[in-house]
């Protein structure tokens, strides 16, 4: 099968960029694959890209030329925002090529992309004909004008039927599919399928687990619940290691000054992440937004590390309470503390069993060898729908 991947790279590399690289590496082992990257720019160039994304003739023309040269059986689009633009979906369909689109976030439902505003879940856009409340709340880059334009781009292409042209939407969890169906997005459930992200455990370092500390790995920002985590562990007698970087780094460092049980270990390389997972007793994931599919959780599963996560969104699809981890009430410091104490009350054998269950979750759903069947099923279904 000949597959063309399209992706607009973010200015700062994130999880979506990593997923594209992983999927490319897997697919090209079994199929003929080419990837066509676009790059989101900053400054004036980025503003021009953003404003022209509603009808980006240049990007659509380049993709059309690539299709005519490569002649793929299917085109798989990841991020279209904003260097690529939605017009590319229409152009591809005029060339008769089936389209698969992976939905990594909730941008098609709300310009926020994460359904969070000022540290609180923001779902008003889901049932609005036009997300005016999101615009007035400046949920995209804290700008009324930028939020309006992004909202208009998505609304305009909904009105002219662009989103209906996609043969198959790939969501990372069933929770995300339900969100789309409960919204006014207007695309039938038959056009959606679920395919989780995956990770390789080949880099996981085999160490004798110290089991003396909990671990947080992630961006130090409001939506990741980092301040809730710090507050909870200030009043717990257990060790916590925090890894990552972000806008709240200084606030986190200030918050842990007098907490001898909390240690900041910096922004880690992928190898260092593997090493830290190999030593931790559990990964704490206190996110207060729905998430897409956190790669950190998959990496923890691959390292046989139980998860203690907020009972929200994607986490409820990943973590089976009291099986491969525990769930606690999102945003609730007391609930997190109580859940940590519940984990601590387990015997050594029970904790080891939970770790084994975490690895079994990885093997059953998130290992690379599970993915090829997902891809081939999705691509063949899209091709059949296009016939």
Domain match, 193 and 217 both: no
**What is the enclosing helix (H) or strand (E) of 121?**
strand 120-121
In a domain, 83, yes or no: yes
In a domain, 208, yes or no: no
Domain match, 217 and 354 both: yes
Domain match, 161 and 55 both: yes
On the CB side of 174, CA atoms within 13 Å amount to: 3
Domain match, 125 and 246 both: no
Q: Given a cut of 60, is residue 99 above it in pLDDT? A: yes
In a domain, 114, yes or no: yes
In a domain, 207, yes or no: no
Task: Assign 11 to helix, strand or coil.
Answer: coil
Q: How far apart are CA 322 and CA 303, in angstroms?
A: 18
Q: How far apart are CA 89 and CA 49, in angstroms?
A: 17
| Token duo for residue 301 | 């599963």
Three-state secondary structure readout of 62-113:
HHHHHHHHHCCCEEEECCCCCCCCCHHHHHHHHCCCCEEEEECCCCCCCCCC
In a domain, 203, yes or no: no
Phi/psi zone of residue 317: left (φ > 0), alpha (ψ -120 to 50 degrees), beta?
A: alpha
Domain match, 257 and 328 both: yes
Domain match, 49 and 171 both: yes
Domain match, 253 and 128 both: no
Dihedrals phi, psi of 172, to nearest 5 degrees: -80, -25
Domain match, 31 and 83 both: yes
Domain span at 330: 213-366
Q: How far apart are CA 286 and CA 310, in angstroms?
A: 5
Q: How far apart are CA 305 and CA 324, in angstroms?
A: 8
Q: How far apart are CA 102 and CA 160, in angstroms?
A: 21
- Integer angstrom CA distances of residue 344 from 112, 237, 338, 356: 37, 11, 10, 17
Closest CA to 60 of 48, 42, 77: 77
In a domain, 206, yes or no: no
- The whole-model pTM stands at 0.92
In a domain, 232, yes or no: yes
Tens-digit pLDDT profile for residues 246-270: 999 999 999 999 899 999 999 999 8
Tens-digit pLDDT profile for residues 286-343: 999 999 999 999 999 999 999 999 999 999 999 999 999 999 999 999 999 999 999 9
Domain match, 233 and 146 both: no
pLDDT at 14: 79
Asked if residue 347 lies in contact with residue 39, where contact means CB atoms within 8 angstroms, the answer is: no
Residue with tokens 């139980």: 306
pLDDT tier, 205 (very low <50, low <70, confident <90, very high otherwise): very low
Tens-digit pLDDT profile for residues 8-57: 999 877 789 989 999 999 999 999 999 999 999 999 999 999 999 999 99
Q: Given a cut of 70, is residue 380 above it in pLDDT? A: yes
Q: Domain with 58 in it: what CATH number?
A: 3.40.50.2000
* Number of domains forming the structure of the chain: 2
User: Could you give the percent of the chain with pLDDT greater than 70?
Assistant: 97
Domain match, 110 and 250 both: no
Domain match, 188 and 258 both: no
pLDDT at 202: 56
Q: How high does pLDDT run on average in the chain? A: 95
In a domain, 354, yes or no: yes
Domain match, 169 and 281 both: no
Closest CA to 14 of 224, 254, 154: 224
Residues in the chain: 387
């Amino acid at each position: 099968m000949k597959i063309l991947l399209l992706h607009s790279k973010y200015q700062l590399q994130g999880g979506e960029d990593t997923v594209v690289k992983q999927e490319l590496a897997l697919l090209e082992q079994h199929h003929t694959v080419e990837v066509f990257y676009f790059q989101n720019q900053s400054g004036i160039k980025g503003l021009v890209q953003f404003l022209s994304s509603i009808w980006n003739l240049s990007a659509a023309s380049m993709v059309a030329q690539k299709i005519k040269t490569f002649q793929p059986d299917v085109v798989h689009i990841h991020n279209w925002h904003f260097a690529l633009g939605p017009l590319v979906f229409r152009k591809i369909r005029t060339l008769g090529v089936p389209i698969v689109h992976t939905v990594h976030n909730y941008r098609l439902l709300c310009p926020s992309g994460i359904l969070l505003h000022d540290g609180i879940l923001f779902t008003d856009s889901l049932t609005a004909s036009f997300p005016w409340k999101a615009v007035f709340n400046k949920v995209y880059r804290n700008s009324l004008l930028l939020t309006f334009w992004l909202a208009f781009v998505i609304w305009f292409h909904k009105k002219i039927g662009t989103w209906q042209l996609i043969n198959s939407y790939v969501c990372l969890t069933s929770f995300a599919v339900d969100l789309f169906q409960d919204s006014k997005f207007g695309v039938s459930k038959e056009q959606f399928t679920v395919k989780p992200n995956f990770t390789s455990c080949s880099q996981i370092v085999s160490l004798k687990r110290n089991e003396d500390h909990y671990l947080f790995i992630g961006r130090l920002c409001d939506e990741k619940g980092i301040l809730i985590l710090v507050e909870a562990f200030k009043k717990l007698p257990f060790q916590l290691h925090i890894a990552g970087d972000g806008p709240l780094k200084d606030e986190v460092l200030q918050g842990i000054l007098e907490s001898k049980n909390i240690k900041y270990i910096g922004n880690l390389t992928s190898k260092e992440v593997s090493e830290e997972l190999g030593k931790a007793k559990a990964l704490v994931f206190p996110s207060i937004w729905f998430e897409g599919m956190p790669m950190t959780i998959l990496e923890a599963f691959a390292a046989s590390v139980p998860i203690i996560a907020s009972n929200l969104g994607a986490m409820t699809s990943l973590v089976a309470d009291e099986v491969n981890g525990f769930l606690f009430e999102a945003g609730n410091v007391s609930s997190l503390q109580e859940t940590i104490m519940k984990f601590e009350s387990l015997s050594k054998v029970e904790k080891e069993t939970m770790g084994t269950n975490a690895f079994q979750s990885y093997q059953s759903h998130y290992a690379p060898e599970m993915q090829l069947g997902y891809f081939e099923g999705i691509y063949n279904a899209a091709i059949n729908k296009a016939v």
